[in-house]
């Protein structure tokens, strides 16, 4: 094998994309990794982006592009023949799924906060710095933070399980009204503490799906309707012909946040949500469950007036 062949083989095996351009900006060579990335971005956006970057970049410049949820890093290099520039080379690195990266960063952050405070309080007790009357107080805080972590970890496990398992294998006929009734009862004490009244209306409506996931979904929606309500507010749950509606008279969600609250860890008011033990995963779980059941979820909300969430299930199954 001569040197040329050997280099070619190396370039073809590289996990990073290599693109060589001539002086006119036409592609002279693309290795398989580059082709894969370019193929991924068959959106006109990438070509445009690359053109723009090529025309303005200097040796060593880098830039990142978002491509169907992935982060692609572009690095620019001049191709030289002695003193003469003969074209350009671009190195493309697929930095992975942006949502996964953010998720990991968020998880780490959310776990670090309670852990820091747990170990801080435990340390003070261990080395005798805490006065006897403080010990109980510290233990309560440790307990509270540990519970927060536990519920966070439970939620994360749920989300990853949802990612992987074939939940529809366990699908059965599930009555939404019964689920609404059960979860309303479960959440009654939480509502009472806030002076919130829950009402349930409608009639039996059977859908095809995974009972425990659907129950989780109903729970999360009613839980939010109570948690983000005002004192003495109301929550109305209604089940009617494959449609579940949860309406509250709460604080509402400002327009600017409405598109984002279904994202993992997204909270409109971090301090309020945290004070009530929220981690911002509830609606992400709801959305995922909806997707798996081919149900459509809609949100209507007005700041200071209230929120209504409607989940519409497909109707291809006989009741
Ligand atoms: N019914 C509602 N009224 C007003 N704001 C809401 C309502 N439901 C959700 N939100 C807003 O959307 C955010 C995300 O909700 P989500 O249920 O995902 O997380 P959370 O309630 O903060 O925590 P948890 O993971 O415990 O459910 C909340 O923090 C809140 O700001
Ligand atoms: Mg919630």
- Quote the pLDDT of residue 207: 96
Residues of the chain with CATH 3.30.565.10: 168-319
The CATH class of the 168-319 domain is alpha beta
Determine the Cα–Cα distance for residues 257 and 268; give it in Å rounded to an integer: 7
pLDDT band at 319 (very low <50, low <70, confident <90, very high): very low
Q: What is the 3-state secondary structure (H, E, C) of the chain?
A: CCHHHHHHHHHHHCCCEEEEECCCCCEEEECHHHHHHHHHCCCHHHHHHHHHHHHHCCCCCEEEEEECCEEEEEEEEEEEECCEEEEEEEEEEEEEEHHHHHHHHHHHHHHHHHHHHHHHHHHHHHCCCCCHHHHHHHHHHHHHHHHHHHHHHHHHHHHHHHHHCCHHHHCEEEEHHHHHHHHHHHHHHHHHHCCCEEEEEECCCEEEECHHHHHHHHHHHHHHHHHCCCCCCEEEEEEECCEEEEEECCCCCCHHHHCCCCCCCCCCCHHHHHHCCCCCCHHHHHHHHHHHCCCEEEEEEECCCEEEEEEECCCCCCC
Average pLDDT over residues 271-299: 85
Q: Rounded CA gap, 222 and 237, in Å?
A: 8
| pLDDT at site 19 | 93
pLDDT at 164 over 60: no
Q: Which of these, 37, 39, 47, lies nearest to 17 by C-alpha position?
A: 37
Please state, for a pLDDT cut of 70, what percent of the chain lies above it. Answer: 91
User: What does the pLDDT read at residue 308?
Assistant: 98
Query: Which residues make up the CATH 3.30.450.20 domain(s) of the chain?
Result: 3-96
Q: Does 165 score more than 80 pLDDT?
A: no
What's the mean pLDDT in 248-272?
89
> Model confidence at 46, in pLDDT bands (50, 70, 90)?
confident
CB-count exposure of residue 189 (10 Å: 0-12, 13-18, 19+): exposed
Give the count of beta carbons closer than 10 Å to the beta carbon of residue 126. 10
Judge whether residue 204 has pLDDT over 90.
Answer: yes
Kindly give the distance from the C-alpha atom of residue 255 to the centroid of ligand 2, in angstroms, as a whole number: 18
Residue 290 binned pLDDT confidence (cut-offs 50, 70, 90): very high
Q: So what's the pLDDT on residue 166?
A: 62
pLDDT exceeds cutoff 60 at 317 = no
Residue of 151, 198, 256, 280 with the most ligand 1 atoms within 8 Å of its CB, for mutation: 280
- The arithmetic mean of pLDDT across residues 247-258, rounded, is 95
Q: What is the pLDDT of residues 110-129, one digit of tens each?
A: 888 889 999 999 999 999 99
Contact residues for 280 (Cβ-Cβ < 8 A; gap 6+): 264, 265, 266, 267, 273
Which position has the higher pLDDT, 53 or 166? 53
- Give the torsion sign (CA, 230, 231, 232, 238): positive
Residues near ligand 1 (Cβ within 6 A): 155, 220, 224-225, 228, 248, 250-253, 261, 266-269, 273, 278-284, 307
Q: How many residues are listed for the chain in this entry?
A: 319
Ligand 1 atom having least distance to the Cα of 251 = 4
β-bridge partners, 309? 246, 299
Find the mean pLDDT for residues 170-199: 94
For ligand 1, the distance from its centroid to the CA atom of residue 221, given in whole angstroms, is 9
Tokens describing residue 13: 């095996």
CATH match for 3-96 among 1.20.120.1200, 3.90.79.10, 3.30.450.20, 1.10.530.10: 3.30.450.20
Whole-number average pLDDT of the chain: 88
Q: What predicted TM-score, i.e. pTM, was given to this entire model? A: 0.69
In ligand 1, the atom with minimum distance to the C-alpha of 248 is: 1
Percent of the chain with pLDDT over 90: 52
Q: Residue 278 Cα, ligand 2 centroid: separation in angstroms?
A: 6
Report CA 51 to chain centroid distance, whole Å: 32
Q: Residue 254's CB: how many other CB atoms inside 10 A? A: 13
Q: What is the pLDDT of residues 49-100, one digit of tens each?
A: 888 888 888 998 998 887 766 778 889 999 999 889 999 999 988 877 666 7
């Amino acid at each position: 094998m001569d040197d040329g062949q050997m280099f070619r083989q190396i370039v073809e095996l590289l996990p990073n994309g290599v693109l060589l351009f001539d002086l006119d900006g036409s592609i002279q060579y693309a290795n398989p990794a580059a082709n894969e990335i370019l193929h991924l971005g068959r959106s006109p956006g990438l070509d445009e982006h690359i053109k723009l970057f090529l025309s303005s970049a200097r040796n060593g410049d880098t830039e990142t592009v978002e491509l169907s949820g992935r982060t692609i890093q572009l690095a620019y290099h001049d191709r030289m023949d002695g003193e003469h520039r003969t074209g350009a080379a671009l190195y493309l690195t697929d930095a992975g799924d942006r949502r996964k990266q953010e998720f990991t960063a968020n998880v780490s952050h959310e776990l670090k906060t309670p852990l820091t405070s747990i170990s801080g309080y435990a340390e003070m007790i261990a080395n005798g710095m805490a006065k006897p009357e403080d010990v109980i107080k510290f233990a309560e805080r440790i307990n509270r933070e540990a519970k927060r972590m536990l519920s966070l970890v439970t939620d994360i496990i749920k989300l990853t399980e949802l990612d992987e398992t074939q939940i529809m294998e366990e699908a059965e006929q599930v009555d939404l009204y019964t689920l609404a009734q059960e979860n309303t009862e479960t959440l009654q004490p939480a509502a009472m503490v806030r002076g919130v009244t829950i009402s349930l209306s409608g009639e039996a409506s059977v859908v095809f799906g995974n009972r425990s996931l659907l129950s989780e979904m109903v729970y999360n929606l009613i839980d939010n309707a109570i948690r983000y309500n005002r004192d003495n507010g109301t929550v109305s749950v209604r089940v009617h012909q494959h449609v579940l509606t949860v309406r509250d008279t709460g604080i509402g969600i400002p327009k600017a946040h409405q598109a984002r609250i279904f994202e993992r860890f997204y909270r409109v008011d971090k301090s309020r949500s945290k004070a009530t033990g929220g981690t911002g995963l509830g609606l992400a779980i709801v959305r995922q469950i909806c997707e798996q059941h081919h149900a459509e979820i809609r949100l209507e909300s007005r700041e200071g007036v209230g929120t209504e969430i409607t989940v519409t299930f497909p109707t291809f199954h006989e009741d």
